[in-house]
Amino acid sequence: MNKDIFLTNSFSGKKVEFQPIDENNIKMYVCGPTVYDDPHIGNARPLVVFDLLFKVLKCKYGNDKVTYVRNITDIDDKIIQSAKDKKISIKDLTVKINNNFQKDCNYLICEKPSFQPKATENIKEMIEMISILIEKGFAYESNNHIYFEVNKFKDYGKLSNKKIDDLISGSRVEISSNKKNAEDFVLWKPSNRDEPSWESPWGKGRPGWHLECSAMSKKYLGDQFDIHGGGRDLLFPHHENEIAQSCCANGTEVFSNYWVHNGFITQSNEKMSKSQGNILKISGFKKSVNGQVLRLALISAHYRQPLDWNDKLLEESQKTIDKWYNSYIELEKPKLISDDDLHPLYDDLNTPKYIANLHKLYEKSQSGNLEDKKEFISACNFIGLLTETKDEWDNFKKKKSTLSNELIEIKINERNKARDNKNYELADKIRNELFEKGVQIEDKDGKTSWKFK
């Protein structure tokens, strides 16, 4: 393979050639889920984007020469609060949500990463990193809390390309009298009696969220690695804090050489969030939408651009795959994909251009030439499409909703009342129940419309 890979590095905001530290050992770390609630469609985008980058890197350098680490955050304030709200144990919650997350990954046809470390299984490494930061003078203890002192790291804000004051303004910075400075962030904090805790030199407690990724990436990938990925919402403060504590603890000028961030998913041009009540859980699609349809929809726009989630997007993705199955044949082994076919993906994961090429390959395959069909199917398989037989695809399509129009209207009224009462959890549950039964609803201009999928 003689094509070079180009990626947009968030450090510069420019598309640059990817030059690995070691071509025989490519290393990539991506921030995984905090397992306090089932993943939604906004969480699905980085899953698919970095799964695709994993495939591209393996194609370029070899299957056994790429290490992909995606962590599981299974201790965090949100997890503790969610377990309390649901009146279940933290362990029961995290096991259940992690299992659901893994099923969602399979549904989206994502490969398993090389490693999926859990935060609770790497506390020892976190304590060691904190001890190093204290010893080097980058962290301090205050009332049984350990904080990283941001002004000790001269490059803080470089990833976000902003000054500290600008970064703090309008962001969710914890206010605490324990801190020396408002921008300092927690590395370790004491646990309440009913919360998980671990022994440490600073008393029983638990790690801060930012520290978890630094410790796990160091354990599996070393002090410095090639690519760090995640959603744009993690750029500050999470990734900024990772850089600061990792560089200071490891004694390196660079933590990750390339930072890759995917854009937000919106609905009616608003970012999906619980406060807006517009969260669509991945599990809600499973009974009415084939995972291939979601996967195609998620890569229909360039990963760096916002993606507005709507009925039309799913309908177009459904029709496209439906059409492509007209050329489906079972392959004993994939046909080698040409450089020309792969070139769009090597160019900063340009999925819209790759999909446009798939349309051309499909038209070419309609001639009946067996090799053309093999080329088309192989190119689809490479990005996780046409992975089922045609019979499996057709059987899934036959599933239809059994809900009456009257019952749907009742459910929508119940959901609207829940939203009015700011009970977004119930509103999400009703929406997901309708999705599971093949009903698509959309909120626009203060009104809710629906139709069968």
CA 390 to chain centre: 29
The label of the residue with tokens 């495939």 reads 55
Q: Does residue 126 share a domain with residue 254?
A: yes
Number of domains in the chain: 3
pLDDT the model gives residue 1: 44
Residue 421 lies in a domain: yes
pLDDT the model gives residue 399: 65
CATH number (domain holding residue 136): 3.40.50.620
Which of 265, 297, 329 represents a domain boundary (last residue)?
Answer: 265
Total Cβ atoms within 10 A of residue 215: 25
Could you tell me which of 2, 6, 4 has the C-alpha nearest to residue 258?
Answer: 6
| Distances from the Cα of 98 to the Cα of 79, 101, 275, 374, 435, angstroms | 12, 5, 23, 37, 22
Residue 80 lies in a domain: yes
Residue 438 lies in a domain: yes
Residue 1 lies in a domain: no
Could you tell me which of 157, 293, 300 has the C-alpha nearest to residue 237?
Answer: 157
What DSSP line would sit under 33-61, residue for residue? -BTTS--BHHHHHHHHHHHHHHHHHHHHH
| Distances from the Cα of 196 to the Cα of 24, 78, 80, 90, 445, angstroms | 40, 13, 9, 8, 44
pLDDT in tens, 225-264: 999 999 999 999 999 999 999 999 999 999 999 999 999 9
pLDDT the model gives residue 453: 64
Q: How far apart are CA 277 and CA 287, in angstroms?
A: 22
Residue 247 lies in a domain: yes
- Exposure string of 227-244, with b = 16+ CB inside 10 Å and e = fewer, is bbbbbbebbbbbbbbbbb
Domain enclosing residue 426, as ranges: 402-452
Q: Which residues pair with 142 in a beta bridge?
A: 145
Residue 297 lies in a domain: no
pLDDT the model gives residue 252: 98
Which of 265, 283, 302 represents a domain boundary (last residue)?
Answer: 265
H-only helix segments in 222-336: 240-250, 291-298, 311-324
Q: Does residue 42 share a domain with residue 169?
A: yes
Mean pLDDT by 10 residues, the chain (453 residues): 86 97 98 96 97 97 97 96 96 98 98 98 98 98 96 94 68 73 95 94 96 98 98 95 98 98 87 71 89 97 95 92 95 81 95 97 93 94 96 80 71 91 89 80 85 72
Total Cβ atoms within 10 A of residue 20: 20
Residue 342 lies in a domain: yes
Sequence-distant (≥ 6) Cβ neighbours of residue 252 within 8 angstroms: 223, 224, 246
Q: Does residue 425 share a domain with residue 390?
A: no
pLDDT the model gives residue 389: 95
Q: Does residue 188 share a domain with residue 61?
A: yes
Q: Does residue 351 share a domain with residue 435?
A: no
Q: Does residue 240 share a domain with residue 92?
A: yes
The answer to whether the CB of 325 falls within 8 A of the CB of 390 is yes
Q: Does residue 426 share a domain with residue 375?
A: no
Q: Does residue 411 share a domain with residue 432?
A: yes
Q: Does residue 117 share a domain with residue 221?
A: yes
